[in-house]
Amino acid sequence: MARLPEENARTVAVDTLCHWEERHLPIDRIFTEKAAGLDPTERRLARSIVYGILRQRDTLDAVLTSYSSHPPSKMKSRTLMTLRAGIYQLFFLSRIPSSAAVNATVNTLKRARQPSWMVGFANGVLRRIAGERESLAGYALDRAGLPRTNHPEWLCARWEKQYGKGQMRAICAINNSEPSLTLRVNTRKIGRTDFLAELKKSGVKVQPSRISPVGLVVDGYPGPVHTLHGYEAGLFQVQDDGAQLISMLVADIPGAGRVLDACAGLGGKTGHLVELLPAGSTVLALEPDRFRQRLLLENIQRLGHGSQVMPVQGTVAEFVQTRPQPFDAILIDAPCSGTGVIRRQPDIRWNRQPGDLPKLAAQQLALMQQASAVLKPGGLMVYATCSLEAEENMEVVERFLGSNSAFTLEPAGPHLPEQARSFVREKGSFSTLPTDGCDGFFSCCLRRAL
């Protein structure tokens, strides 16, 4: 008998979450692999369940604790993830009938050949919850009657100390919501106004970014990004509008030059640099991970930037040993905790631990030291993270400056468009929070003496 689409979606959702809990790999990578065989409707449901559970975990577990004699902390991973999937549908997906939320979700345990007692246990718990579906809203509040943060306590305590209780709760609330899809228009191929008109003509709800002069914000597009008008033609790249501002800090050089993207990742900022730099400039994109480098190459080719980008697989330390020709500018978009992008990558909040921060800071400082060796006198080095944590941001910059007297801080403001200069903060650095209407980023400009 053919499986129902909803059943397939739920199976993929539970399998994705179990694999994530076991390996703690990025959830988007796991989901992309697991959901490869789903049709668009199934994929949307599976993704909604996976990302919704990660955003509402504490709320779901509060419900589960109330209705189960067996605490969540004592449950096997597959049982727990199955129950969370069922509760999420009952609590947050009102369009799904209770019978489908219960039966199709419980059937994932049968497909996984779980013991009959486990299937019966999950079925009983979900049926009790479904019977009181209309009264679940109260579990969204904590004991103090405030909305649950659905973030680890240690992270909330850090943000409360740094930003205040109100701002901490506002950041958590934003992180628990579904983000808009933001695009960067490839201005080498089309202007923002023209592309905006084309998207609207194709039926897409879209508006200009208020932060980035080349950004667009898409509202409620239901399909995969590759089905959006202009994707195959390379007219845009998916990129948060706050991230688009960082490339603008790097590309403000007087003439054609060589730029090093030292931690290129998937190539979002690499492509933007090509679009911003003076004609005749080149970008060397350094990325050690084979999977990310493959996606980087695909993005650069789709955008039509292949002739100006030189991809190199390897670490900064390895690359510096090749004694390359010095660069006019360097971007270090450093690997970090990612606490500024939890809204888009909700698994980050559960993957991180306090002990990660000093380790990451040491790696970030090492990257700055290594990359600075291949910057021309008078050149600009831009250090950036998608972290909200001071240890990874200004503290790393200050440690670098303390042992590198040839470098000085340069204000970010003159390199930014007028509408973004309100994000220039401590010591001239660029910094955004999720409450600013984009993801959380930090960046500093450091000028090497002539």
Which residues are known to be catalytic?
A: 386
Structure tokens at 289: 């991970």
Residue 432 and residue 440: Cα distance in Å, rounded? Answer: 5
Are residues 448 and 375 in contact, defined by beta-carbon separation less than 8 angstroms? yes
Asked whether 175 and 155 are in contact (CB, 8 A), the reply is: no
Q: Which residue bears the tokens 């978009």?
A: 333
Instruction: Indicate the pairing of strand 430-432 with strand 441-448.
Output: antiparallel
Closest CA to 330 of 239, 448, 226, 415: 448
C-alpha 352/C-alpha 338 separation (Å) is: 9
Q: What are phi and psi of 421, to 5 degrees?
A: -75, -10
Q: Are 6 and 100 in contact (CB under 8 A)?
A: yes
Chain centroid to Cα 448, Å, comes to 31
The position carrying tokens 């040839």 is 406
